[in-house]
Chain A
Amino acid sequence: MSEIPGDLKFNKSHEWARIEDGGLVRVGISDHAQGQLGDLVYVELPEIGSSVKAGGAAAVVESVKAASDIYSPVSGEVVEVNETLNDKPETINEDAWGEGWIYVVRISDRAELDQLLDAGAYEELVENEDH
C-alpha cells in the first residue's frame, strides 16, 4: 500500500478530505479502501450544486464485487465532480490519493474538520483492521 499523505484528514469509513484554498475540500477514498473494494467499474457522482452532509452518503462506488456508499467527511455544497471517473472508474484503483478524487465541497462548517482523523490516527485504524 502506498504511504498515507500527511496533509489529509479521514473518516473512519475510509474517505479522505484535502483542505484547499478558498474554503474548498477535495474528497476521495483511501488507497486501503480501493484495495479492499477491488477493481472499480462504476462511480455514481453527486450532482454539482447539491448539498452533502458530514457522515451522509454522497456518492457510490461499485467494484466488481460490491456497491459501497461514500460518506462525506464534511458538509457543504458540491462545486466540482471528477468527470473522469465516468469513463475511467479504475482511476481510483490506480491513484486513490490524487487523480482518483471524487468531488469538491465548499465547506459550510470548518469545525467539522476537527472531528476527522489525521494521517497518523488513520494509519493506526487501518493497521488494527488488518490484524
Chain B
Amino acid sequence: MTEKTVLNATHRALGARMVDFGGWDMPINYGSQIEEHHAVRRDAGMFDVSHMTVVDLHGARSKDFLRHLVANSVEKLKAHGKALYTCMLNEQGGVIDDLIVYFLGDEHYRLVVNAATRAKDLAWIEKQAAAFGVEVKERPEFAMIAVQGPNARAKVLGLLHEVDRPRIEKLGKFAAAAAQGPHGMPLFVARTGYTGEDGFEIIVPANHAVALWEALAAAGVVPAGLGARDTLRLEAGMNLYGQDMDETVSPWEANLGWTIALDEGRDFIGRAALEKQKADGVKRVMVGLVLDEKGVLRHGQKVLTANGEGEILSGSFAPTLEKAVAFARIPAGEPGAVRVDIRGRELPVRLVKYPFVRDGKPCEGI
C-alpha cells in the first residue's frame, strides 16, 4: 500500500507528477524540474520531506546508546539543538542507513532517518536500544518541509513569531531550535539540508503542515519535487542511501570517512570491521565524474579504468553545470584515463573532487 503525506492533496492540486518513492506517493516535479532546481539555487524552494522518519530517543543512557549505535561520535554534540550527520553500521561495517542526530538534552536525542529504510531502521534501533533501557519513539504525527536556497532563511524568518526571529536568524549551521510559526504553530527549525544551499528543514505537527506550506508559498517559496532534490544533492556531493551506499558498502568506500570517529575507547557497531578494512587497504573508492561531451551519466553505467571496471552510482544531468556529473565506485589505485560506456560507446570522463556545486556556484575545477 502506498503511503501519503499530509501534503498529498496540496501537491495534486498544484498539478504535481506523482511517483512511488520508497512506498510513498510523492511529487517528482510540479512543472519543469530544471526550473525548480534553479529556483533553489537562485532564490528559495521547498520540498515536502514528510516521508522521512522522525524518531525520538529518551532515557538516562541515551548518549551511551548512541556512542554504540552510530559511527560518528555524539560527544561532538555539546550545545542544545546541535546536529550530527552519521552512518549506522552493521557488524561488517556496511551502512544500514545514514541519518541526522539532534542533541535535545542529555536524556533526549532526535533522529531523522530515511523513508525507504524505516522498518529495518526501527527494528535495528529498537533491538540495540533494549540493553541500554532507551525508549525508541517514532513520531508519525510530524510532517517535515525543507526550505532551501539563498533566500530561504529570510523567507522563513518572516513567518516566525517576532520574539523568535533574532534567535533563529543567529542559529548556526547544523543546529536546530524550537520556534513559533504562523498562527502560533510549534516548529522545530533546523539549519540543515540536502541541496548545498543554505536553508532550514522544519519539523511541524502534521495538522499545521498545509498552513505552513501555504504561508511559505505566499512568501514566494517555490514548490520543488524529488526530481530537483535529486539533482541538487548530487551537485552538492551528497550521497543517496540505496544508490550510493548500502549494507554491502562501508563508509570508507562511500567517501564518508569524514563521518567515522575512531575515538579512544568507543566500541560502536562495525568499528572492528572498519579498522580491519582500513589496515588491509580499502579496495574500492568513490569518485566524482564529469562528462564534458554530450550525453548523460546514469546509474548502472560501466566505468572503465586502468585497474578494472567500476560502476556509476548516482548520475544525472546537472542543471547548474549544464552537463552530466556522477558518483562512481571504482577499484582503488591510479585509474589512468577513465571512460564510461554509454549504450556501447566509450566516452572519456574527468575524475574530479566534489562537491560539484556549492552555494549556487560551480566549484573550482568542475
Tell me the A residues contacting B by CB distance below 8 Å.
Answer: 38-39, 41-42, 44, 60, 62, 64-67, 86, 93
Q: Are A42 and B317 in contact (CB under 8 A)?
A: yes
- Taken together as a complex, chains A and B put the C-alpha atoms of A86 and B294 apart, in Å, by 9
Q: Are B33 and A38 in contact (CB under 8 A)?
A: yes
Asked whether B34 is an interface residue with its Cβ less than 8 Å from the other chain, the reply is: yes
- Determine the chain A residues whose CB is within 8 A of the CB of B34 once the complex forms: 39, 41, 64
Q: Are A41 and B29 in contact (CB under 8 A)?
A: no
Asked whether B158 is an interface residue with its Cβ less than 8 Å from the other chain, the reply is: no
Name the residue of chain A whose CB is nearest to the CB of B34.
A39
Q: Are B32 and A41 in contact (CB under 8 A)?
A: no
Q: Are B298 and A67 in contact (CB under 8 A)?
A: yes
Asked whether B150 is an interface residue with its Cβ less than 8 Å from the other chain, the reply is: no
Q: Which of B17, B28, B317 meets A41, CB within 8 Å?
A: B317
Asked whether B231 is an interface residue with its Cβ less than 8 Å from the other chain, the reply is: yes
Q: Are B296 and A42 in contact (CB under 8 A)?
A: yes
- Taken together as a complex, chains A and B put the C-alpha atoms of A65 and B17 apart, in Å, by 13
- Taken together as a complex, chains A and B put the C-alpha atoms of A73 and B52 apart, in Å, by 44
Q: Are B298 and A64 in contact (CB under 8 A)?
A: no
Name the residue of chain B whose CB is nearest to the CB of A41.
B317
- Taken together as a complex, chains A and B put the C-alpha atoms of A60 and B231 apart, in Å, by 21
- Taken together as a complex, chains A and B put the C-alpha atoms of A93 and B33 apart, in Å, by 12
Name the residue of chain A whose CB is nearest to the CB of B29.
A38
For residue A131, give the distance in angstroms from its CB to the closest CB of chain B. Answer: 14
Q: Are B33 and A41 in contact (CB under 8 A)?
A: no
Which residue among A39, A41, A62, A64 has the maximum number of chain B CB atoms within 10 Å of its CB? Answer: A64
Name the residue of chain B whose CB is nearest to the CB of A90.
B34
- Determine the chain A residues whose CB is within 8 A of the CB of B296 once the complex forms: 41-42, 62, 67
For residue A71, give the distance in angstroms from its CB to the closest CB of chain B. Answer: 15
Q: Are A39 and B33 in contact (CB under 8 A)?
A: yes
For residue A36, give the distance in angstroms from its CB to the closest CB of chain B. Answer: 8
- Determine the chain B residues whose CB is within 8 A of the CB of A64 once the complex forms: 33-34, 227, 231, 316-317, 319
- Determine the chain A residues whose CB is within 8 A of the CB of B343 once the complex forms: 60, 67
Asked whether B295 is an interface residue with its Cβ less than 8 Å from the other chain, the reply is: yes
Minimum-distance CB pairs A-B, first 7: A41-B317, A39-B34, A62-B296, A64-B317, A39-B33, A64-B33, A38-B33
For residue B98, give the distance in angstroms from its CB to the closest CB of chain A. Answer: 23
- Determine the chain A residues whose CB is within 8 A of the CB of B17 once the complex forms: 38
Show 18 A/B contacts (Cβ-Cβ < 8 Å), sorted by A: A38-B17, A38-B33, A39-B33, A39-B34, A42-B296, A42-B317, A44-B295, A62-B296, A62-B317, A64-B34, A64-B231, A64-B317, A65-B33, A66-B298, A67-B296, A67-B298, A86-B294, A93-B32
- Determine the chain B residues whose CB is within 8 A of the CB of A38 once the complex forms: 17, 28-29, 32-33, 227
The proximity string for B residues 1-33 relative to A, scoring 1 for CB distances below 8 Å and 0 otherwise, is: 000000000000000010000000000110011
Which residue among A44, A62, A67, A93 has the maximum number of chain B CB atoms within 10 Å of its CB? Answer: A62
- Determine the chain B residues whose CB is within 8 A of the CB of A60 once the complex forms: 343
For the A-B complex with A38-B17, A38-B28, A38-B227 known, give 15 more contacts whose Cβ atoms are closer than 8 Å: A38-B29, A38-B33, A41-B34, A42-B294, A42-B295, A42-B296, A62-B317, A64-B227, A64-B231, A64-B316, A64-B317, A65-B33, A66-B298, A86-B294, A93-B32
